[in-house]
Structure 1
Amino acid sequence: MGSRYGGLKQLDEVGPGGETVLYDAALAGFGKVVFVIRPDIADAFEASIGARARRHMEVDYAFQRLDALPDEYAPPEGRMKPWGTGHAVLCAREQVNTPFAVINADDFYGRDCFMRLASFLRSTSAGSYAMAGYRLENTLSEGGAVSRGVCSVAHGRLQTVREHTGIARSPFGLIEGNDGTHTVSLAPDTVVSMNAWGFPAEVFSDLARGFSDFLAKPEGDPLKREYYLPYFVDQQIAEKRASVSVLETDAKWFGVTYREDRDGVSAALRGLHEESVYPPLA
């Protein structure tokens, strides 16, 4: 449920032709999708999204359950919140046995993102990851402030990802955000992560180890703390367990963080139809 959006935005059709991001993924060469969802929305999701996705590729499901934990752990009493994006990917380990990409189900990444990820994954190996890197100015919301993973990149390799919150244009046109300590100015071409990643199948063993380490450290609110995928990647880099290629793209990212974003995204997708990026509307 999207609390800022005010509904289950993954099932809210935005594109004028009823298209999904999987159209671009299929054109890039991806042949299978695994949706990681809550069990209680499975039927609605299949009717709205899954059935359409089957026109383009094989479809499978993995369920992110609160009790999907190592044997020695149990969910804290009163916890309702999922365990985060790192845990979500881990929940799909039984459905995935080849190199794969990870995206948010409610974001529009642009075809170039999928093309770059697919090309990388055709020749990746254990310990070799990829991240689609977007220009910050191409990821802002007109509806309000956003959070972004601000990246440090050297020689095409990701060094760190640091979450910045409250990112928005100031009244003077500058882009500002909070780095966790104070307000900072951010350049328009700052590379940010939009959670579009490429991994080898071997990543699951490291992800399981990292999640167990996370559970063993009782830091933060036990009812709310989450194991984020960027945190896992950051740890892998710091421990020299992985190298992450940054696949920079000039693609425009669209998302519906706020309901006010919906009309703008819908208009942008209609424009892509008119430019013949997508099949013309009937």
Structure 2
Amino acid sequence: MNKYTLVVLAAGMGSRYGGLKQMDPMSDEGDTIIDFSIYDAIQAGFKKVVFIVREDFIADFRAIFDDKLSGKIEVEYVCQSISDIPLGYAINENRTKPWGTGHALLMTKGVVKDNFVVINGDDFYGKQAYKDIVKELSRLDKNSFDMCMVGYNIDKTISDNGYVSRGECFLDADHNLIDVIERTSIEKLDNKIVRKDDQGEFVPMKKGTVVSMNFWGFTPRFLEVLEEDFKSFMEERSEELKSEFFIPTVVSNVINAKRGVAKVLTTVAQWYGVTYAEDKSVVTAAIKEFKEKKVYPKKLWS
């Protein structure tokens, strides 16, 4: 029997949001965005959830999630910290931020044993997206390096309140990923979607561009590649103050080395997210409507 695992990236500090958005209630009943993600994952057939958190707020996470999830899904926690790196690498003494999503996912090695999905803790992906990715996850050979992801139309993932980071996806005719490039500054400008290039100049992005929202499906072998690539990353950039090791970079490396393919799934599910505090009202209004239409029960865990 397949025992799919949901891995939740929840170690971010939410600097642009102004607090720990992963634990911020988004409904009158006190639901967080993560509650809906786990609820949808359970409905889609996931049996285990692994939270990646920072050690200084793991107790707060347990207080929110342990009781409500007891008996519904297996729960584990792992912690991400700056010091969790291979021996022998010097780091900038002024660094305060961990090493990014790829480093965070590496913390699950030894905990994740089956095919798994990775999500952001502050993204609402939609019920159908979980059903879609489980179908593809079931096709992945556990011993391969093949991957899958749910892609979203960029037009539907931009905040009205500031810049966002997205992985721009390039696809072949079979909807396999050719490459994914992390764009760290995308925003709306004069009713157009633009990104900043390395020189700080604005570059237009096409409407309909498929982007990654860090909704990935992997086999356990992806963690082997992640470990290899993180060592290479540290050799080159360990002493930088703000360098980050991103999941999409490793995905691209797997594809370019022809070690595996990544199927990109398009979905009719609606995405919502909270990059900025001003985004919260949009999310809470959507959740309220979902509950009124009985897409979700009024009390998720009753």
TM-score by shorter chain over 0.5:
yes
Could you tell me which of 239, 262, 278 is aligned with 2:257? 239
**Which stretch of the first structure deviates more once superposed, 25-34 or 241-250?**
241-250
**Which stretch of the first structure deviates more once superposed, 69-78 or 197-206?**
69-78
CA contact 1:133–1:193 (8 Å) conserved in 2: yes
**Residue in structure 1 matched with residue 295 of structure 2 by the alignment:** 277
Q: Give the count of matched residue pairs.
A: 280
The separation in 1 between residues aligned to 2:71 and 2:275, in whole angstroms, is: 28
**Residue type matched to 1:103 in 2?**
I
**Which stretch of the first structure deviates more once superposed, 258-267 or 74-83?**
74-83
Matched residue of 1:82: which SS?
A: coil
The separation in 2 between residues aligned to 1:243 and 1:47, in whole angstroms, is: 39
CA contact 2:160–2:188 (8 Å) conserved in 1: no
Matched residue of 2:270: which SS?
A: coil
CA contact 2:146–2:219 (8 Å) conserved in 1: yes
The separation in 1 between residues aligned to 2:43 and 2:109, in whole angstroms, is: 25
User: Aligned in 2, Cα 1:83/1:216: closer, same or farther, shift over 3 Å?
Assistant: same
**Residue in structure 2 matched with residue 260 of structure 1 by the alignment:** 278
Structure 2: segments with no counterpart, 5+ residues? 1-12
**Residue in structure 1 matched with residue 89 of structure 2 by the alignment:** 73
Tell me if 1:113 matches 2:129. yes
Q: Percent identity?
A: 40
Could you tell me which of 12, 15, 23 is aligned with 1:11? 23
**Residue in structure 2 matched with residue 191 of structure 1 by the alignment:** 210
Render the CA deviation track for 1:95-128: whole Å, top value 9, x for unaligned: 1100000001111111122111211112212111
The separation in 2 between residues aligned to 1:244 and 1:29, in whole angstroms, is: 21
Matched residue of 2:160: which SS?
A: coil
Deviation at 1:165, TM superposition (A): 4.0
Structure 1: segments with no counterpart, 5+ residues? none
**Residue in structure 1 matched with residue 157 of structure 2 by the alignment:** 139
CA contact 1:165–1:180 (8 Å) conserved in 2: no
**Residue in structure 2 matched with residue 175 of structure 1 by the alignment:** 193
CA contact 1:128–1:244 (8 Å) conserved in 2: yes
The separation in 1 between residues aligned to 2:275 and 2:71, in whole angstroms, is: 28
| TM-score, structure 1 as length reference | 0.93
Deviation at 1:169, TM superposition (A): 2.8
The separation in 1 between residues aligned to 2:24 and 2:64, in whole angstroms, is: 9
The separation in 1 between residues aligned to 2:252 and 2:27, in whole angstroms, is: 34
The separation in 2 between residues aligned to 1:132 and 1:244, in whole angstroms, is: 10
**Residue type matched to 2:202 in 1?**
T
The separation in 2 between residues aligned to 1:53 and 1:81, in whole angstroms, is: 30
**Residue in structure 1 matched with residue 63 of structure 2 by the alignment:** 47
Render the CA deviation track for 1:75-106: whole Å, top value 9, x for unaligned: 44232210111011110111110000000111
The separation in 2 between residues aligned to 1:99 and 1:186, in whole angstroms, is: 33
**Residue in structure 2 matched with residue 206 of structure 1 by the alignment:** 225
The separation in 1 between residues aligned to 2:69 and 2:299, in whole angstroms, is: 19
The separation in 2 between residues aligned to 1:280 and 1:77, in whole angstroms, is: 48
Matched residue of 2:132: which SS?
A: helix
**Residue type matched to 1:162 in 2?**
I
**Residue type matched to 1:204 in 2?**
L
User: Aligned in 2, Cα 1:55/1:18: closer, same or farther, shift over 3 Å?
Assistant: farther
RMSD of the TM alignment (CA)? 1.8
The separation in 2 between residues aligned to 1:243 and 1:257, in whole angstroms, is: 30
Matched residue of 2:49: which SS?
A: strand
Matched residue of 1:260: which SS?
A: helix
